[in-house]
C-alpha cells in the first residue's frame, strides 16, 4: 500500500481559485438578460469601482490582459527612446518595450529583494532615457522612494510592472499609488484572477480618459478617433468573474498567509535554503514563495527541482532564464552577464514553491519533507 500512497494528484506552483460555480450563474443570467457582452458594460464599470475601493487607488482602467496594459501604459505616457528595466522578471515586461520600439536597458537587481537596484540606475541613464520600468517581484515592493528620487532628478517617468502586487501595501498605503502608472495582471496564475485580465492604475481622471481611449482603438466618439489605439477591453464575462472573485479575497489571502508562515517556520532550519524575506511591506499578498538554493545545500537548485518533480511537485524556476538570456535581448550591451551578476546568481538559485488556497496541509508537508530530507 505504502508505495501507492505517493500516487497523488500533481501539485503545481499555483492553482487558480474558483468560487463555487452556482455563485457565478446569476452573473451569467444578467449578461444573458441585458445582452451587453463588452465595451465598458455594467460589470466592467462595477469592477473598476470595486477594485479602486479594494485596492485603495483613485483611478483604474481594466484591460484584457496585463501585457496589453503594459504596452498601452507606455503609449499613454508617450514613452520613446530607452527605458531602464530589470532582467529578473517575466518576459512580458521587456516585450512591452520592444512592441513600442523602445530600447530596454537592463540594470542589475538588489540581492535581498531581487527588485531593480536603485543604486545601479544612474549609471545606466543616457540622454535617450525617458523612463524606468521596475517590477515589484513576488509582490515585494521596490525601493519606491529611491526610484522616485532618481526619476525626479532626471525627469523620467516611472511605470511599475505591478503584475505580482495586487493588494500590496507599503509604509504609505497601496504600493500601486507610486510612480506615474502601475500595471496589474489578473491572469489565471495570479493572486486575483479574471481568467485573463489586467489593469492600469493611474493618478488622475485625465490620464484615465486617455487610457480608456487607447484601449478602445482611440475612439473618442462616433466620428472621432484621437490616436492609434488598440483593442484592450475586458469583456463582461471576465469582469463579472472578477466581481465574484473579489468577494472571496479575504479567505484567499488568509490561507496564503498561513501557507507562507508554515514554510518559513519549517524551512528555517534547513541548511542552504534561504526563504526570500518579505519585502518589508505593511500588507503582503503572499503571491509566491521563492527560496534560494545555496551552495551549502546538498543538491543544486536544478537537482532539487527535479527531485520534487519526480514526486509530483512542480515548483517553478521564476525567474530562470533571465529575460536577457533570450535571443531578442542577449546582444544588447546591458544584457551581458558581467553587467548583471546578482540577477545571474539569483536565476541559478531560485525555486518557487507551491502556494495557493487549495494546497492541503499534507501536501505542503510533503514539499517541506522532500526539501529537508
Ligand X SMILES: *Cc1c(COP(=O)(O)O)cnc(C)c1O
Footprint on this chain of ligand X (rule: CB under 6 A):
65-67, 89-90, 92-93, 135, 161, 163-164, 185, 187, 198
Residue 250 has a CB neighbour count (10 Å cut-off) of 9
Q: Which is nearer to ligand X, 65 or 262 (CB)?
A: 65
Give the three-state DSSP class for 281: coil
Task: Enumerate residues 6+ apart whose C-beta is below 8 A from 322.
Answer: 87, 88, 340, 343, 344, 347
287: preceding bond cis by omega (within 30 degrees): no
Q: For the CB of residue 164, give the shortest distance to ligand X in the complex, in Å.
A: 6
Q: For the CB of residue 89, give the shortest distance to ligand X in the complex, in Å.
A: 5
Q: Which is nearer to ligand X, 14 or 339 (CB)?
A: 14
Q: For the CB of residue 90, give the shortest distance to ligand X in the complex, in Å.
A: 4
- Of the candidates 228, 252, 206, 168, which has an alpha carbon nearest to the alpha carbon of residue 61? 206
Query: What's the grid cell of residue 298?
Result: 546538498
319: preceding bond cis by omega (within 30 degrees): yes
Q: For the CB of residue 312, give the shortest distance to ligand X in the complex, in Å.
A: 25
Q: Which is nearer to ligand X, 65 or 117 (CB)?
A: 65
Give the three-state DSSP class for 23: helix
Q: Which is nearer to ligand X, 198 or 315 (CB)?
A: 198
Q: For the CB of residue 64, give the shortest distance to ligand X in the complex, in Å.
A: 9
Q: Which is nearer to ligand X, 71 or 308 (CB)?
A: 71
Q: Which residues of 3-20 are buried (b: 16+ CB within 10 A; e: fewer)?
A: eeeeeeeebebbeebbee
Alpha-carbon distance 46 to 49, whole Å? 5
Q: For the CB of residue 190, give the shortest distance to ligand X in the complex, in Å.
A: 6
Q: For the CB of residue 287, give the shortest distance to ligand X in the complex, in Å.
A: 9
Q: Which is nearer to ligand X, 198 or 354 (CB)?
A: 198
DSSP 85-112: E-SSS-THHHHHHHTTTPEEEE--B-TT
CB-based closest residue to ligand X: 66
Q: Which is nearer to ligand X, 121 or 163 (CB)?
A: 163
Residue 219 has a CB neighbour count (10 Å cut-off) of 17
Q: Which is nearer to ligand X, 198 or 366 (CB)?
A: 198
Q: For the CB of residue 65, give the shortest distance to ligand X in the complex, in Å.
A: 4
Q: For the CB of residue 93, give the shortest distance to ligand X in the complex, in Å.
A: 5
Beta carbons of 201 and 161 less than 8 angstroms apart = no
Beta carbons of 296 and 271 less than 8 angstroms apart = yes
Query: What's the grid cell of residue 55?
Result: 485596492
Q: Which is nearer to ligand X, 83 or 163 (CB)?
A: 163
Q: Which is nearer to ligand X, 70 or 292 (CB)?
A: 70
User: Quick one: 154 exposed, middle or buried, by C-beta within 10 A (0-12, 13-18, 19+)?
Assistant: middle
Q: For the CB of residue 223, give the shortest distance to ligand X in the complex, in Å.
A: 32
- Of the candidates 199, 205, 177, which has an alpha carbon nearest to the alpha carbon of residue 187? 199
Q: What angle do CA 319, 105, 76 make, to 5 degrees?
A: 95
Amino acid at each position: 500500500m505504502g508505495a501507492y500512497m505517493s500516487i497523488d494528484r500533481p501539485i503545481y506552483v499555483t492553482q487558480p481559485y474558483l468560487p463555487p460555480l452556482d455563485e457565478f450563474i446569476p452573473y451569467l443570467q444578467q449578461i444573458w438578460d441585458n445582452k451587453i457582452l463588452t465595451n465598458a458594460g455594467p460589470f466592467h464599470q462595477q469592477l473598476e469601482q470595486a477594485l479602486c475601493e479594494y485596492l485603495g487607488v483613485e483611478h483604474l482602467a481594466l484591460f484584457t490582459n496585463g501585457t496589453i496594459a503594459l504596452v498601452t501604459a507606455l503609449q499613454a505616457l508617450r514613452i520613446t527612446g530607452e527605458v531602464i528595466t530589470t532582467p529578473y522578471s517575466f518576459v512580458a515586461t521587456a516585450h512591452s518595450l520592444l512592441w513600442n520600439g523602445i530600447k530596454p536597458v537592463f540594470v542589475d537587481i538588489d540581492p535581498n529583494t531581487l527588485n531593480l537596484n536603485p543604486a545601479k540606475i544612474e549609471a545606466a541613464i543616457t540622454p535617450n532615457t525617458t523612463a524606468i520600468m521596475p517590477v515589484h517581484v513576488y509582490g515585494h515592493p521596490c525601493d519606491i522612494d529611491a526610484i522616485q528620487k532618481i526619476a525626479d532628478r532626471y525627469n523620467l517617468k516611472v511605470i511599475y510592472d505591478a503584475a505580482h502586487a495586487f493588494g500590496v501595501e507599503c509604509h504609505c498605503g497601496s504600493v500601486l499609488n507610486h510612480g506615474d502608472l502601475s500595471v496589474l495582471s489578473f491572469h489565471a496564475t495570479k493572486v486575483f484572477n479574471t481568467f485573463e485580465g489586467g489593469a492600469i492604475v493611474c493618478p488622475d481622471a485625465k490620464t484615465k480618459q486617455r487610457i480608456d481611449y487607447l484601449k478602445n482603438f482611440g475612439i473618442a466618439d462616433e466620428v472621432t478617433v484621437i490616436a492609434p489605439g488598440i483593442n484592450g477591453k475586458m469583456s463582461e464575462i471576465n469582469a463579472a468573474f472578477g466581481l465574484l472573485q473579489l468577494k472571496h479575497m479575504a479567505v484567499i489571502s488568509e490561507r496564503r498567509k498561513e501557507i507562507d508562515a508554515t514554510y518559513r517556520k519549517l524551512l528555517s532550519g534547513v541548511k542552504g535554503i534561504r526563504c526570500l524575506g518579505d519585502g518589508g511591506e505593511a500588507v503582503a499578498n503572499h503571491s509566491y514563495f521563492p527560496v534560494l538554493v545555496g551552495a551549502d545545500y546538498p543538491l543544486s537548485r536544478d537537482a532539487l527541482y527535479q527531485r520534487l518533480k519526480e514526486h509530483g511537485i512542480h515548483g517553478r524556476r521564476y525567474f530562470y532564464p533571465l529575460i536577457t538570456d533570450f535571443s531578442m535581448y542577449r546582444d544588447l550591451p546591458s544584457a551581458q552577464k558581467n553587467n548583471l551578476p546578482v540577477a545571474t546568481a539569483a536565476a541559478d538559485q531560485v525555486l518557487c514553491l507551491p502556494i495557493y488556497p487549495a494546497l492541503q496541509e499534507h501536501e505542503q508537508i510533503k514539499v517541506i519533507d522532500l526539501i529537508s530530507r
